[in-house]
């Protein structure tokens, strides 16, 4: 059985929903998946065949819980395939996507020891509201496809 940990950071909950969608897609492929807030994960991180780390971008920065998770478990993560994803942008414009992609690249530059098997950028979403228009650029089909690609690349299916 393939064991996958999906560790996420979030402020408003929309990244948790993506982490759960990744878990749903991986479970459908036959994996056993645990979804946990990155800050709640207790190591050592042994026994995982793949670890997915997801976090939103805020003001150009990747959520600090993701950075902390990577730094804290660096030694363990060296020994297992790691895939990462970011959330953003908020506007569906080419320039905004490019900027978010650069922000995520810069964030990953801060972890030069890490070579992710895949890096995803899934679009941002406003927190749910009762009234008014809520931006939500998340593409659930693309998230499922990304998950299946990651499983194939990391040899876990
Ligand atoms: C105040 C604010 C600042 C944001 N800044 C960025 C940003 O710099 N780059 C980006 O790509 N997305 C940015 N976003 C979009 C968030 O990453 C997106 O809304 C994400 O889905 C939020 O995740 P969460 O609900 O898990 O906290 C910002 C959102 C807010 C509300």
Residue nearest to atom 3 of ligand 1 (CA): 58
DSSP 125: B
Check residue 75 and give its pLDDT: 97
**Closest residue by Cα to residue 2 from 41, 28, 37, 39:** 28
Return d(Cα 60, Cα 36) in angstroms, integer.
24
Q: What mean pLDDT comes out for the span 7-35?
A: 98
- What is the pLDDT averaged over residues 116-120? 98
Ligand 1 pocket, mutate which of 11, 20, 88, 129 (most atoms under 8 A from CB) = 88
CATH classification of 3-153, choosing from 3.40.50.1100, 3.65.10.10, 3.40.50.360, 3.40.470.10?
3.40.50.360
Tell me which residue has its CA closest to atom 1 in ligand 1.
58
Q: For ligand 1, what atom is nearest to the CA of residue 56?
A: 17
Nearest to 53 by CA among 87, 13, 30: 87
- ∠ CA 93-136-95, nearest 5°, is 15
Helical H segments across the chain, by residue range: 14-28, 64-72, 74-77, 94-109, 140-153
Specify the pLDDT at position 44: 95
* Confidence at residue 157, expressed as pLDDT on a 0 to 100 scale: 67
Higher pLDDT, 155 or 108: 108
At residue 149, does pLDDT exceed 90? yes
Res. 78: pLDDT tops 70: yes
Average pLDDT, the chain: 96
Nearest alpha carbon to residue 91 among 59, 123, 128, 48: 123
List residues near ligand 1 (CB under 6 A). Answer: 10-15, 56-60, 87-90, 100, 103, 124-127
Q: What is the ipTM of this complex?
A: 0.99
Mean per-residue pLDDT for 10-19? 97
């Amino acid at each position: 059985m393939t064991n996958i940990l999906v560790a996420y950071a979030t402020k408003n909950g929309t990244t948790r929903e993506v982490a759960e969608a990744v878990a749903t897609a991986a479970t459908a492929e036959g994996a056993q998946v645990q979804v946990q807030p990155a800050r709640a994960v207790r190591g050592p991180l042994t026994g995982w065949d793949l670890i997915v780390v997801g976090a939103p971008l805020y003001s150009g920065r990747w959520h600090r819980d993701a950075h902390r998770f990577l730094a804290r478990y660096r030694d363990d993560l060296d020994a297992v395939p790691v895939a990462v994803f970011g959330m953003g942008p908020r506007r569906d414009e080419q320039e905004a996507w490019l900027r978010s992609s650069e922000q995520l690249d810069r964030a990953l530059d801060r972890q030069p020891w890490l070579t992710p098997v895949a890096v995803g950028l899934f679009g941002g979403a406003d927190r749910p509201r009762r009234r008014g228009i809520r931006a939500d650029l998340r593409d659930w089909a693309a998230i499922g496809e990304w998950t299946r690609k990651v499983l194939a690349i990391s040899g876990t299916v």
